[in-house]
């Protein structure tokens, strides 16, 4: 309602041909009461049962660490592109406390600092953007800031701290969130990418968690998850850890993942082009690793499901020519009644979400008889759904991958092709899989005939990943 009033007000003020152009699209203009071109907002998709589909990204970088845009610019991008929630997850830092950057010498502006600042001022205005000139008082303040990350910001590098230089303040989340958040329409969530030998995102974190270290990938995952669950228990706030990009620098194998009992989420698709989602000749794809992990957990260890996230890991927002990790490549659609962090985390923990790089589902559900999916069709696009799972009695045996000299490589081992079998391939927009009785789990991947425009890899088609459900052969444990 507030946006509609703003819209009406700006029409009355005769401000806006652009607004008028949006009027017949059904989108709500969004200008935060600021000057400049109003943008659009996509309302959430309602379901018959009172829930909504909320679109969100849980892996986002800004200039608080190594993203190349000011945080409000990043949030603005997502809100304008149909998202309802966004977790800001910078490396080893929370966006709180004082942090100043040199607008052009900060290395993460990647040579485009002047453009980034100009765009920031154009969008939010001189009244919003905070700058200051380095003087003796500021130098003394900066010397008191501990180096490194954490809470309370980070120090400006010494070589950028020169008397008379102008710096820009990065606003903390709690200073800018009110510009964007609207009840039932848009939500910001504090997050952190704990950046250790491996990376773990924590969505809805309260207190900064430093990297916990560990001997090897598995122990490092375990130690970081333990720190998250300790904080969650102590502070009583649902927070959700997930393992980031397991194939980045080939740091994590399936054998590092499946024994970690409290691992519940990992990124099966990360839009950053260095994340090696599809593996190579020596390394398994993330989908193959997912099937190995699910089979070993459900069939051998009696552990729970692990859900697969599709996320951006966005760093590059358009000022610099870098496009290695643009926003909008992967997201989650979460089904819940309310748009609050608690409801979203609980829904995802219940598997009540799917991941997407373009395909939209209107519904999915499972019961003791099978798994049904409803795809929201797009004109001229066709859909193929593969139901994938492993049957009870599969061989859990594996053998190491060796190089030409016979040396064992530190990569995911080779497993039986009884793991991750394509149980059925169904064309059309209402695919359903009927359990046969011996499935440990079933998941689904929907592939459309439509090219993914801002692709992760050339040739990608738009996809959706439906979360695994337990089959009849894996009774609840
Ligand atoms: Zn990372
Ligand atoms: Zn990241």
Is 383 a domain residue? yes
Mapped onto helix, strand or coil, the DSSP state of residue 290 is: helix
**Residue whose C-alpha is closest to residue 314's, from 39, 53, 78, 55:** 78
123 and 255 fall within a common domain: no
Q: Report residue 22's pLDDT band, with 50, 70 and 90 as the boundaries.
A: very low
What's the gap between Cα 24 and its chain centre?
Answer: 32
What is the per-residue pLDDT across 308-333, written as a single tens digit (0 to 9) for each? 999 999 999 987 778 999 999 999 99
Q: How far is the CA of 213 from the centre of ligand 1 (A)?
A: 15
Ligand 1 centroid – CA 417 distance (Å): 30
Q: Which ligand is nearest to the CA of 66?
A: 2
Least distant ligand from the CA of 60: 2
Q: 200: CA distance to ligand 2 center in Å?
A: 9
Give the count of beta carbons closer than 10 Å to the beta carbon of residue 456: 20
How much distance in Å is there from the Cα of 194 to the middle of ligand 2? 9
Contact predicate 104/130, CB 8 Å: no
Q: Which helix (H) or strand (E) is 28 found in, with range? A: strand 28-30
290 assigned to some structural domain: yes
Give the pLDDT of residue 14. Answer: 34
Residue 475 lies in a domain: no
* 236 shares a domain with 346: yes
Residues 388 and 450 in one domain: yes
Among candidate residues 125, 153, 170, the one where a domain is terminated: 170
The CA 245 to ligand 1 mean position distance, Å, reads 7
**Closest ligand to 192 CA?**
2
Cα of 384 to ligand 2 centre, how many Å? 31
- Which pair of structure tokens corresponds to residue 301? 């260890």
Determine the average pLDDT of the residues in 117-128: 93
Ligand having the closest approach to the CA of 275:
1
Is 349 among the domain residues?
Answer: yes
Distance between CA 200 and CA 182 in Å, rounded? 28
| pLDDT digits 0-9 by tens, 410-441 | 999 999 999 999 999 999 999 999 999 999 99
Tell me which DSSP letter residue 299 carries. Answer: I
Pair (349, 451) in one structural domain: yes
Paired with 439 in beta bridges are 391
The model's confidence at residue 30, banded by pLDDT at 50, 70 and 90, is low
User: Within this chain, do residues 198 and 306 fall inside the same structural domain, yes or no?
Assistant: yes
Q: 81 alpha carbon to ligand 1 midpoint, in Å?
A: 23
The single residue listed with the structure tokens 């800018």 is 176
pLDDT for 166 beyond 80: yes
Please say if the pLDDT value at position 233 is more than 60.
yes
The verdict on 262 and 342 lying in the same domain is yes
Residue 33: the pLDDT is 58
Last residue in a domain, options 109, 138, 170: 170
Ligand nearest to the CA of 315: 2
C-beta separation of 327 from 307 below 8 A: no
Task: Tell whether 477 is covered by a domain.
Answer: no
Q: What angle do CA 249, 254, 256 make, to 5 degrees?
A: 80
Q: What percentage of the chain reaches a pLDDT higher than 90? A: 84
Ligand 2 center from residue 190 Cα (angstroms) = 14
Q: What's the 201 CA to ligand 2 centre distance in angstroms?
A: 8
Residues 348 and 211 both lie in one domain: yes
Distance separating the N- and C-terminal Cα atoms of the chain: 47
> Which residues does 453 contact at the CB level (< 8 Å), separation at least 6?
none
Does 316 lie in the same domain as 237?
yes
CB atoms near residue 421 (< 10 Å): 17
State yes or no: pLDDT of 140 exceeds 50. Answer: yes
Does 450 share its domain with 383? Answer: yes
Q: Residue 154: which pLDDT band, with cuts at 50, 70 and 90? A: confident
Kindly give the distance from the C-alpha atom of residue 10 to the centroid of ligand 2, in angstroms, as a whole number.
38
Task: Check pLDDT > 60 for residue 210.
Answer: yes
Which string of DSSP letters, residue by residue, matches 345-380? HHHHHTT-EEEESS--EEEEEEETTEEEEEE---TT
Residue 74 lies inside a defined structural domain of this protein: yes
CA of 328 to the centre of ligand 2 (A): 14
Tell me, in angstroms, the distance from the centre of ligand 1 to residue 199's CA: 5
Ligand number nearest CA of 252 is: 1
269 C-alpha to ligand 2 centroid (Å): 12
**262 or 33: whose pLDDT is higher?**
262
Provide the b/e sequence for 63-76 (b: ≥16 CB within 10 Å).
Answer: bbbbbbbbbbbbbb
Whole-number pLDDT of residue 38: 54
Q: How far is the CA of 71 from the centre of ligand 2 (A)?
A: 15
The domain containing residue 22 runs over which residues? 1-33
Give the ligand whose atoms come closest to the C-alpha of residue 89.
2
Does 294 have pLDDT greater than 60? yes
What's the rounded Cα separation, in Å, for the pair 18 and 1?
19
Based on the fold, state whether residues 397 and 249 are members of the same structural domain.
Answer: yes
**pLDDT for 232:** 98
Ligand nearest to the CA of 324: 2
State in Å: Cα 275 to ligand 2 middle. 10
CATH assignment at residue 215: 3.20.20.140
Least confident of 124-128, 273-277, 392-396: 124-128
Report pLDDT for 26. 43
In a domain, 278, yes or no: yes
Q: How many domains does the chain have?
A: 3
336 shares its domain with 297: yes
pTM: 0.91
Q: 129, 149, 170: which is the final residue of a domain?
A: 170
In a domain? residue 476: no
pLDDT tens for residues 52-69?
999 999 999 999 999 999
Q: Where are the alpha helices (DSSP H) in 41-183?
A: 71-80, 113-124, 136-144, 173-180
Q: Both 110 and 23 in a single domain?
A: no
Cross-strand bridge partners of residue 29: 40
């Amino acid at each position: 309602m507030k946006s509609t009033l703003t819209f009406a007000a700006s029409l009355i003020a005769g401000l806006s041909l652009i607004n008028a152009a949006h009027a017949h699209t059904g989108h709500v203009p969004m200008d935060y009461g600021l000057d400049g071109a109003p943008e659009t907002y996509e309302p959430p998709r309602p379901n018959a049962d009172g829930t909504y589909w909320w679109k969100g990204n849980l892996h986002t970088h800004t200039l608080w660490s190594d993203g190349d845009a000011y945080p409000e610019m990043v949030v603005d991008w997502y809100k304008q592109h149909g998202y309802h929630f966004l977790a800001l997850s910078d490396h080893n830092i929370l966006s709180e406390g004082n942090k100043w950057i040199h607008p052009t010498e900060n290395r993460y502006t990647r040579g485009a600092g002047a453009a980034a600042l100009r765009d920031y001022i154009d969008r939010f205005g001189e009244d919003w953007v905070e700058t200051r000139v380095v003087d003796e008082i500021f130098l003394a303040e900066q010397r008191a800031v501990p180096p490194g990350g954490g809470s309370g910001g980070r120090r400006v590098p010494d070589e950028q701290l020169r008397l008379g230089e102008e710096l820009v303040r990065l606003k903390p989340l709690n200073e800018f969130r009110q510009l964007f958040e609207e009840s039932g329409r848009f939500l910001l969530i504090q997050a952190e990418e704990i950046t250790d030998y491996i990376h773990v995102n924590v969505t809805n974190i309260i207190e900064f968690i430093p990297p916990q270290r560990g001997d090897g990938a598995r122990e490092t995952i375990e130690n970081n998850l333990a720190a998250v669950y300790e904080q969650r228990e102590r502070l009583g706030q649902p927070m959700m850890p997930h393992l980031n990009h397991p194939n980045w620098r080939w740091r994590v194998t399936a054998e590092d993942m499946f024994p970690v009992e409290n691992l519940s989420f990992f990124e099966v698709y990360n839009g950053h082009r260095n994340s090696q989602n599809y593996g190579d000749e020596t390394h398994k794809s993330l989908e193959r690793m997912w099937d190995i992990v699910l089979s070993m957990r459900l069939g051998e260890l009696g552990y729970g499901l692990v859900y697969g996230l599709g996320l951006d890991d966005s760093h590059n927002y358009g000022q610099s020519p870098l496009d290695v990790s643009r926003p909008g490549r992967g997201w989650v659609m979460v089904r819940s009644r309310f748009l609050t962090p608690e409801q979203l985390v609980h829904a995802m923990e219940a598997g009540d979400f799917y991941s997407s790089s373009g395909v939209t589902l209107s519904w999915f559900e499972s019961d003791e008889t099978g798994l049904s999916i409803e795809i929201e069709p797009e004109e001229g696009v066709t859909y193929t759904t593969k139901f994938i799972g492993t049957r009870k009695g599969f061989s859990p045996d594996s053998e190491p991958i060796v190089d030409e000299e016979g040396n064992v490589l530190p990569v995911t081992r080779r497993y039986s092709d009884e793991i991750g079998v394509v149980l059925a391939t169904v064309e059309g927009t209402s695919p359903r899989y009927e359990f046969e009785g011996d499935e440990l789990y079933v998941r689904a991947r929907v592939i459309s005939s439509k090219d993914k425009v801002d692709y992760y890899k050339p040739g990608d088609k738009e996809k959706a990943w439906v979360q695994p459900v337990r089959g009849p052969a894996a009774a609840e444990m």
